[in-house]
Structure 1
């Protein structure tokens, strides 16, 4: 398998089960989002992937974030593109290895993981049907060229953000609504009075959204 991962198999086995693929944030690891795997619906395969770039013991990144002399932050787009395609390929590997319903795949990303979730879904909309994007933002430069020519009609997005997030400003997250609406993608967007994290209400709301 091209990415290291941990898995919770569905408690209710169907002929083919849906998949929730969890993508952690910068400097974290696969254990982070997996901590709420037991709370996720029983019919899903829950897979949490480890990002490929090693920062230091126990922390990983999907792509490097660098600072220039003026303290401007910028993303390593080459690494982001490689990770985007790695995730798309990893989805195929999971479908081959487990009885996963290829028509029912959801990416759940936090922070850097949610930025990449958008990029994977827009680039490969046949592979992903739903995205839960928490505490991230849409960077279309990370999607494949001409992604807007793809058939995006099957995509649905749940986006959420903390109003006092000091890592990724809430203004960046708010831009996702008009951007996705322009692409014809239905989006539910919610804000919570928290910083860079996932509140219990946020978790409850996206679980509800998944059930619909």
Structure 2
């Protein structure tokens, strides 16, 4: 049984379907990114997860973001690491429960969901193939101390960010290409003239990228 609540869109294939798992942002839920599902290729088995921590009055989070007068804004990295493990365990659960191809798993994250998608891919690279990283950044504090390039050589990343993002500064995202290049990881990085959201052109580009790497 899964520790995470989720919703699904079945694949048109009876077996070996590519699997796409969605991880929403801070304060949202599993229905947010699921609105993309109808626009994505029908052969994908799509699963949208709900983050484990319930917020008040509504919404969910993968980890706490605290606002402290002394520390400023800071993330609970221990909670984040626990959620990374939960997502990794969910991938195993999904591959054992549904008729999907365990060698063709894509993570699609937004904001906090992207931060965790990066961490899952770089901590458990054997579990994933593609990562669509929307409006997030790489938090090195929740990654392994050492990443072996040969372990991550098969990964493909589509990374995008709004150039006027008021929630996660674009300067944080701009560090991503150099990080991935240092590990010789195949990646695309794009910026769009929007805030903390997904522009229509961004969605069009990620769909074209997914067609190439699915």
Matched, 1:30 2:30: yes
Deviates more, 1:98-107 or 1:50-59: 50-59
Q: Distance in 1 between matches of 2:61 and 2:140?
A: 19
Deviates more, 1:50-59 or 1:69-78: 69-78
Structure 2: unaligned runs, 5 residues or longer:
none
Q: Distance in 2 between matches of 1:81 and 1:15?
A: 32
Match in the other structure for 1:53: 53
1:40-87 per-residue CA deviation (whole Å, 9 max, x = no partner) reads 111100100000000124400000001221462111011000000000
Which secondary structure state, in structure 1, belongs to the residue aligned with residue 125 of structure 2? coil
**RMSD over aligned Cα atoms:** 1.2
Asked if structure 2 preserves the Cα contact closer than 8 Å seen for 1:104 and 1:128, the reply is yes
Which secondary structure state, in structure 2, belongs to the residue aligned with residue 56 of structure 1? coil
Match in the other structure for 2:7: 6
Match in the other structure for 2:180: 180
Asked if structure 2 preserves the Cα contact closer than 8 Å seen for 1:29 and 1:58, the reply is no
Match in the other structure for 1:117: 117
Superposed, 1:54-203 pairs within 5 Å as 54-70=54-70, 72-148=72-148, 151-203=151-203
Which secondary structure state, in structure 2, belongs to the residue aligned with residue 171 of structure 1? helix
Q: Distance in 2 between matches of 1:189 and 1:48?
A: 24
Q: Distance in 2 between matches of 1:35 and 1:122?
A: 27
Q: What TM-score, normalized to structure 2?
A: 0.95
1:68-114 per-residue CA deviation (whole Å, 9 max, x = no partner) reads 21462111011000000000000000011101101100000000000
Q: What TM-score, normalized to structure 1?
A: 0.96
Which secondary structure state, in structure 2, belongs to the residue aligned with residue 147 of structure 1? coil
Q: Distance in 1 between matches of 2:19 and 2:104?
A: 7
Residues paired across the two proteins, number: 211
